[in-house]
Amino acid sequence: MGMVNRMKEILAATNNGHKLEELRAVLAPRGVSVVSLRDRGIEIVPDETGVTFEENALIKARAIRKAAGGCAVLADDSGLCVDALDGAPGVVSAVYAGDDASDEENTAKLLREMEGMENRRGRFVCVLAYIDENGEEKLFRGECEGEILREMSGGKGFGYDPVFRPVGSDVTFAEMSEEAKNGMSHRGMALRQLAVSS
């Protein structure tokens, strides 16, 4: 029997279908198979007590690695940082309107908070924490500058995508194809750094 060229496997610390699609879209062509927590039957939800994206990404990665028994893991912490709101929603982007808030509720709160504000600048930030099979930890950070629109536009993507228009684009993330978004997004940038280093 010949040697099997086995794909490298990484356990992603998420069950978010949209995030998994983005991870797989960038990493699969590079020979990396991304497995979800659900695929492994892991039901741990670590307390994200960090005050930075880096801290929260590492908290998730370490907890998942421990629960999974030491395989290679990848955790992501990301959010939208708005200049006029002193960096909010930031690390609480996913729960901005409450612990069980939907994407629509979070976005609606953001638009309410920004009513009447002329400065619409902001950026999406993504920090990936990667821990390899040997326990070595690496962090990768991607940022995408843009502006916050006054109303939602587009039905693709997730989170704050319908109100975020990146610099150099005339459409929001929610109006782009997956390929176009991955080419300029914060997560795409961090993933490409990971892919180059691994």
Phi-psi region of 78 (alpha: psi -120 to 50; beta: other; left: phi over 0): beta
How far apart (Å, rounded) are the C-alpha atoms in residues 74 and 61?
6
Catalytic residue annotation = 77
Cβ neighbors of 141 (< 8 A, separation 6 or more) are 53, 54, 125, 126, 127, 128, 190, 193
Alpha carbon 123 to its chain centroid, in Å, reads 13
How far apart (Å, rounded) are the C-alpha atoms in residues 79 and 92?
7
How far apart (Å, rounded) are the C-alpha atoms in residues 106 and 96?
5
